């Protein structure tokens, strides 16, 4: 976490040590602003967001130029896009959920601590009188902000593309009920927020992995690998006993928000699962980071 602003109570810039005797304890708000600026100004992260935004555009263009997809072919909801462009947002979220979204989360979370250590800025950062636990919490909050931003970018790009290429109107839910467009937009936003929350557990795993190494690529690869393994295990019926304990098991539960009335059982289980993973892996990350000997 670095900043180009001159005050010494801010996070020091890369390779720049604060002047002796001029240190003051930075506030959590200042640390968070600095971390958010680092995450959302990093060119690699902006490219990830651009790629995620491009996916619904590609899906929408492909559907517009082709004949209407048959039911059961392609991602869920794709056969509904030509009837209502709002379903492009939902189709895009389904498309990015298995790989592209976890990839983005793995990159940002895996780089959070290991990236600073690799660049040599973590040691100078810890010179600032700030508790390591607070610093870790700030980094995790910034990763969560990226998760939500990534999901909202996909949903927004899908809605804009869908509205531009296809008719839009009242939406027929999976339960057969028809609702106004305004209510459907609210449900789409809730779906996007649920998908963002569903990445919270993976983000915590990635942050923990980031505290174990000074090689950010290793932390990123380990996090993405765990995401893929979790989804593979979730698809194997022979190990169904462990399915409820996998952080990816309830990722697709957002489909319940397209029913009337909304069944909340799986949605609540999904949120609860993420909370458990966040508590466990943030605790492990704190235990590791609080005792870590930072040499670079």
What is the structure's pLDDT at 119?
A: 81
Task: Tell me the C-alpha to C-alpha distance, in Å, between residue 194 and each of 27, 197, 272.
Answer: 30, 5, 12
Q: Between 144 and 296, whose confidence is greater?
A: 144
Instruction: Give a yes or no: residue 64 inside a domain.
Output: yes
Instruction: Give a yes or no: residue 1 inside a domain.
Output: no
pLDDT tens for each residue of 106-150? 999 999 999 988 887 776 666 666 788 888 999 999 999 999 999
pLDDT tens for each residue of 165-194? 999 999 999 999 999 999 999 999 999 999
Instruction: Give a yes or no: residue 274 inside a domain.
Output: yes
pLDDT at 199 over 90: yes
Give burial (CB, 10 Å; 0-12/13-18/19+) of 43.
exposed
Instruction: Give a yes or no: residue 204 inside a domain.
Output: yes
Instruction: Give a yes or no: residue 112 inside a domain.
Output: yes
Instruction: Give a yes or no: residue 14 inside a domain.
Output: no
Given the DSSP bridges, would you call strands 178-179 and 171-172 parallel, antiparallel or unpaired? antiparallel
- pLDDT-derived band of residue 46, with 50, 70 and 90 as boundaries? very high
- Name the pTM for this structure: 0.87
State the Cα–Cα distance between residues 246 and 146, nearest whole angstrom.
22
Q: Which two tokens stand for residue 288?
A: 């590791």
What is the mean predicted confidence (pLDDT) over 143-158? 98
What is the structure's pLDDT at 17?
A: 42
Count of domains observed in the chain: 1
Supply the range of the domain harboring residue 58: 28-290
Instruction: Give a yes or no: residue 110 inside a domain.
Output: yes
Instruction: Give a yes or no: residue 23 inside a domain.
Output: no
Lowest mean pLDDT among 27-41, 49-63, 72-86, 99-113: 72-86
């Amino acid at each position: 976490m670095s900043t180009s602003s001159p005050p010494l109570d801010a996070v020091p810039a890369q390779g720049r040590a604060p002047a002796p005797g001029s240190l003051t304890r930075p506030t959590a708000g200042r640390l968070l602003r600095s971390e958010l600026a680092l995450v959302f100004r990093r060119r690699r992260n902006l490219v990830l967001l651009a790629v995620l935004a491009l996916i619904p555009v590609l899906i929408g263009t492909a559907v517009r130029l082709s004949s209407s997809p048959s039911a059961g072919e392609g991602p869920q909801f794709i056969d509904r896009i030509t009837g209502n462009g709002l379903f492009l947002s939902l189709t895009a979220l389904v498309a990015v959920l298995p790989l592209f979204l976890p990839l983005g989360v793995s990159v940002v979370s895996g780089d959070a601590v290991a990236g600073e250590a690799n660049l040599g800025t973590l040691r100078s950062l810890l010179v600032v009188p700030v508790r390591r636990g607070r610093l870790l919490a700030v980094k995790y909050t910034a990763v969560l902000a990226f998760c939500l931003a990534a999901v909202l970018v996909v949903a927004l790009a899908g809605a804009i593309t869908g509205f531009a290429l296809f008719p839009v109107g009242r939406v027929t839910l999976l339960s057969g009920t028809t609702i106004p467009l305004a209510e459907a937009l609210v449900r789409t936003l809730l779906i996007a927020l649920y998908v963002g929350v569903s990445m919270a557990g993976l983000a915590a795993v990635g942050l923990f992995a980031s505290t174990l190494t000074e090689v950010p690529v290793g932390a990123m690869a380990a996090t993405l690998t765990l995401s893929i393994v979790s989804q593979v295990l979730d698809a194997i019926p022979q190990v169904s006993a462990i399915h409820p304990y996998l952080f990816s098991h309830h990722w697709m539960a957002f489909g319940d928000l397209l029913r009337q009335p909304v069944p909340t059982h799986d949605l609540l289980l999904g949120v609860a699962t993420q909370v458990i993973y966040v508590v466990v892996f943030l605790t492990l990350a704190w235990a590791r980071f609080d005792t870590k000997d930072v040499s670079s």
